[in-house]
Amino acid sequence: MTLEIKEVDAYYGLVKVLTSVDFSVAQGELLGVIGPNGSGKTTLLRAISRILRPKVGTILLDDRDILKIKDREFSRNFAVVPQDTAVNFDFSALDVVLMGRNPHLGRLELETDKDLSIAKRSMELTNCWHLSERPITELSGGERQLVIIARALTQEPRVLLLDEPTSHLDINYQIEIMELLKRLTLQEGLIVIAVIHDLNLAAQYCDRLVLLHKGEIAAAGTQEEVLTAANIKNAFGANVIAKRHALTNLCYVSPVPSHLKSNASAAKATIHLICGGGEGASLMHVLTEKGYKVTAGVVNLLDTDYEVAQLLNIPIVTEAPFSPISDDAFQAHLNLIDEADVVVLCGIPVGFGNLRNLEAAEAALEMCKSVLVLDANGVGARDFTGGDATKRINELKAKGALPVMTQVEMLEMLKLIQDSVAKVVTARSTT
């Protein structure tokens, strides 16, 4: 079973809302539809559920145009869980769920034991059978949503469409509903298409994602292909860091607050960070917020430090992933160090691939730069060179590099250096 949306354009009156939307969903797949408000997510579900007729394009279920399927048959194949699930009558939860059997009943026909059995199974699947006798108006938002999903399942559909099923719910119900949708694809073989506003929930549970922006597909595919910083910036206008979670190996998105954007002042010193492995990321935030100009290097592309530097517009020297530092990258690194007032060697893990970063710190001392060594006493645990890195860092301290144990101590030292530089500049200007 396959659902195909083929080059669909949709309008509200004369206003075009969807343009050339084209994708397919296979049986047993959970597809997440994401995008900013007004991007066409709900309109897409309305087109698939035949509430809105596309002006251009077709929607096919197993190669059948859904517009040519009779209403009763269509309702046996498609079920919808809308964004607004308010019920204003005091029906019991079971009565609400039994309404899902209407497409299977004849005119004036009452529910049978078979219908009741199907409704009970649907409520058990959604873990709400214990609510069966309670009035729907007395249920919490999460409980009501489970009942509405059970009603949709009672239709015995092949395709389940949900419009923001976890909105305004506590985290426990968000997880329960997303776990349920995943089970429905794996165990029941349903096609599930869900509009989801939480990007991290979408990454956690969806097999594939479709990102809509201004009525068009901005990106479609796996979470790695869709949830990139560039795609999210383009669609939402938000600066984020998109990474893989160390435990789940799934993508997650973290916002970068706008106040962390660089506000460097020409009156403050330029700080160069020798970083990598994420050790420079928080320093970049702190230093730019304090008004320092920051540069960094050498880090591997796709390193967290690289992504943060990109977001904060920090000049940075990079190297290919899993590659040793090349001569060109090393020279570019020295050029940035030459322009800096202070060099901070972060508490980076040191292996043979990035050992030249310590060589760059040595060169900074030779250029008469102030060099701070952050977390110097912890180098032993970060030394993967058989002791060479520890030896070279100890030599740095012996030659005049200043060890600092914490960020606070480092900031205090930078202020002292900044003040001394300012005094020298003032003295020169008066002579």
C-alpha–C-alpha distance, residues 12 and 334, integer Å: 59
Closest CA to 212 of 34, 398, 7: 34
What are φ and ψ of residue 152, in 5° steps? Answer: -65, -40
Helix (H, G, I), strand (E, B) or coil at 333: helix
pLDDT confidence of residue 418: 77
pLDDT digits (tens, 9 = 90+) for 43-88: 999 999 999 999 999 999 999 999 999 999 999 999 999 987 667 7
Please state the separation of Cα 250 from the chain's center in Å.
Answer: 10
Neighbour order of strands in the sheet with 191-195? 78-81, 159-163, 191-195, 30-34, 208-213, 216-221
221's enclosing H/E stretch is: strand 216-221
What is the pLDDT, as a whole number, of residue 376? 59
Which residue would you say has higher pLDDT here, 334 or 89? 334
Question: Residue 371: is its pLDDT beyond 70?
Answer: yes
Q: Which fold, 258-425? A: Rossmann fold (3.40.50)
The tokens describing 53, both together, are 């007729």
pTM strictly above 0.75? no
Give the residue from 56, 71, 53 showing the smallest Cα distance to 21. 56
Nearest to 418 by CA among 263, 264, 280, 269: 269
Tokens 């897409």, located at residue: 44
CB 60 within 8 A of CB 134: no
Q: Max Cα separation, the chain? A: 103
Q: How far apart are CA 200 and CA 132, in angstroms?
A: 32
What pLDDT was estimated at residue 425?
47
| Span 138-149, average pLDDT | 90
Mean pLDDT (whole number) for 178-202: 94
Beta strand pairing call for 342-345 and 370-374: parallel
> From CA 179, how far away is CA 82, in angstroms rounded?
19
Residue type at 21 in one-letter notation: V
Tens of pLDDT, residue by residue over 225-269, are 999 888 999 999 888 878 777 667 788 887 765 555 544 444 478
Write down the pLDDT at residue 346: 93
pLDDT for 262 equals 46
- Of the chain, the percentage scoring pLDDT greater than 70 comes to 93
pLDDT tens-digit profile of 260-311?
Answer: 554 444 447 899 999 998 899 889 988 988 888 999 999 988 788 888 888 7
pLDDT at position 80: 94
- Strand duo 64-65 + 240-244: pairing: unpaired
The residue behind tokens 């530089």 is: 421
Q: Where are the domains of the chain?
A: 2-255, 258-425
Long-range contacts of 395-398 (CB under 8 A, 24+ apart): 395/362, 396/345, 396/358, 396/361, 396/362, 396/365, 396/371, 397/373
Order of strands, sheet of 402-404, starting from the edge strand that comes earlier in the sequence: 316-319, 293-300, 270-274, 342-345, 370-374, 402-404
For all residues of the chain together, what is the average pLDDT? 88
Residue for token digits 């460097």? 264
pLDDT for position 198:
92
Report pLDDT for 296: 95
Q: What is the 3-state secondary structure of 101-144?
A: HHHHCCCCCCCCHHHHHHHHHHHHHCCCHHHCCCEHHHCCHHHH
- Residue-wise DSSP of 159-216: EEEEESTTTT--HHHHHHHHHHHHHHHHHH--EEEEE-S-HHHHHHH-SEEEEEETTE
CA 315, 304, 411 angle in degrees (round to 5)?
65
**In sequence order, which residues have a C-beta less than 8 Å from that of residue 355 and are 6 or more positions away?**
385, 388, 389, 392
pLDDT given for residue 169 in this prediction: 83
Identical fold, 2-255 and 258-425 = yes
Q: How sure is the predictor about 105, in pLDDT bands with cuts at 50, 70 and 90? A: confident
- Whether pLDDT at 431 is above 70: no
CA 119 – CA 2 distance, rounded (Å): 26
**Contact by Cβ (8 Å): 292, 311:** no
Q: Which helix (H) or strand (E) holds 220?
A: strand 216-221
Confidence of residue 377 (pLDDT cuts 50, 70, 90): low
pLDDT at 311: 79
pLDDT at 37: 92
Contact status, residue 248 vs residue 72, Cβ threshold 8 Å: no
Q: Place 35 in a pLDDT band, splitting at 50, 70 and 90.
A: very high
pLDDT value for 130:
94
Structure-model confidence comparison of residues 245 and 406, the more confident one: 406
The residue type at 364:
A
CATH class assigned to 2-255: alpha beta
Q: What are phi and psi of 378, to 5 degrees?
A: -100, 15
